[in-house]
Structures are given as C-alpha cells and as structure tokens.
Amino acid sequence: MQESVLFLKNASIFQRDNLVLSDVNIDIKKGEFIYIIGKTGSGKSSLMKTLYGDLELQKGEGAIVDYDLKKLKEKEIPFLRRKLGVVFQDFKLLNDRNISDNLLFVLKATGWTDKEKMKAKINEVLEKVSMHTKGFKMPFELSGGEQQRIAIARALLNDPELILADEPTGNLDPRTSIEVMGVLEEIHKSGKTILMATHDYALILKYPHRTLKCEGEDVFEVVQQTN
C-alpha cells in the first residue's frame, strides 16, 4: 500500500467567509502526478492555498506531508513549506539578486549554514532544470520559461515530499509551456509527487495523468478518454 502524501476528507474550502468548494475528498499517494483543472474562479487556487497553509481548513479533515491541516499553527507553516515545493504562476523571484543568490536566500532562510553544501545543492537543482550555466544572471535577463525553470529549481532545494504547482504555465506561451512541462515530467519520473493546478487542456492531452476537476463547489475525478 502506497502512503498518502495528501488527503482531504469532507473538507470545505473557504476564501474568507465565502464557501468555494464543499465536501472535498482527495487522496494522493506518494509518486503520483495529479492535475487539478477548472475555470478561473472555480476554486483551484483556494484549494492550493489551503494546502500550503495560506488559508485555514475550517471544516472537514485533511493532512499534507504529515501535517494536520485542521490543527496547523501559524508557527508550523514555515516547517510545512520546507516539506513542500511550491511553484507559482508569476515565478516570485527576487529581482535585486542573481539566480544563485535567489536560491541561496531560500537555503539560508530554511536553516542551511554550510557554504560548500549550499553551493553544491544550488548546482544540483540548476542542473536538474538545465539552467546550470545561468546562475550569474539576473531574473530580468531570463525569458519567462527560464524564470519558471528557476522557480522549479527553487522548489526542489529542500528535497520536498510534494510539489504544488499553481498554474506554472499560466504566463507562458504554448511552446514554452511544453518545455516547462517536460521539466516537471522529468522530476516526476525521478520519484517526486506533483499536484498541478492548470487550465491548459493541451498539456493534459499531451501528458495525461490522473485529473481532478473543480466545478460548482465540487471536486471530482475526470475519466480521461483513451484512444
């Protein structure tokens, strides 16, 4: 039996006082790649925010990488996020420092102190996303696709148990989206669990995986057509 990395049971997702999704039941096992799809405003982002501790789980049960979402305390959130890799649509890179220093900032913030180990880890994650020659560049010198590769590298720094990718191709053109998706596929093949919110149906057709859909306050599994 594979272990669950994430589960929600009869969970309700709220954005402030507004009920966004109700009676959500999700179980994600180690090593799976899962899409969450749905129109803008259907609750995908609110669900993601609940999973990484930005919104509290007010109703129902839920756990993610051994943290009980119902009992999650403010001071535990940084520790939860160390076990997660979060990739955002808008990259969230620090524009006042180069790529290596962006990654160094995260390592220092999460308790790393050994300079040699930090340097080695930065090289390792940049290698994984084929950006090992770009460490000296500033974020604004990179294309959108390259910035998102760096954001994925950053998500890998603390060897997360689960990667949450919230519309990672949302700001990219179709060709670049496929390149970034290729990077995520490689990371998944290396054994990582990935949950990705997207509204890019072309990607889902090209790289089929188990798919959950948010629609009208519900989350349900989509049965994909096979040719």
Q: Where are the domains of the chain?
A: 4-222
Label residue 142 by pLDDT band (50, 70, 90).
very high
In tens, the pLDDT along 25-84 reads 999 999 999 999 998 889 999 999 999 999 999 999 999 999 999 999 999 998 898 899
Question: Which residues face 63 on adjacent strands?
Answer: 7, 68
Q: How sure is the predictor about 110, in pLDDT bands with cuts at 50, 70 and 90? A: confident
> Residues 161-219: pLDDT tens digits?
999 999 999 989 999 999 999 999 999 999 999 999 998 888 999 999 999 999 999 99
CA–CA gap between residue 21 and residue 78 (Å, rounded): 25
- What pLDDT does 78 receive? 86
Q: What homologous superfamily is domain 4-222 in, according to CATH? A: P-loop containing nucleotide triphosphate hydrolases (3.40.50.300)
Q: What are the DSSP calls for 163-225, one per residue?
A: EEEESTTTTS-HHHHHHHHHHHHHHHHTT-EEEEE---HHHHHHS--EEEEEETTEEEEEPPP
pLDDT given at position 199: 87
Alpha-carbon distances of 152 from 14, 92, 176, rounded to whole Å: 28, 11, 14
CA gap 93, 97 in Å, rounded: 9
pLDDT score at 225:
56
- In the structure, what pLDDT confidence band is assigned to residue 227 with cuts at 50, 70 and 90? very low
pLDDT band of 224, cuts 50, 70, 90: low
Q: What is the pTM of this model?
A: 0.93
Residue 98 pLDDT greater than 70, yes or no: yes
Q: Which helix (H) or strand (E) holds 24?
A: strand 18-29
Are 43 and 217 spatial neighbours (Cβ–Cβ below 8 Å)? yes
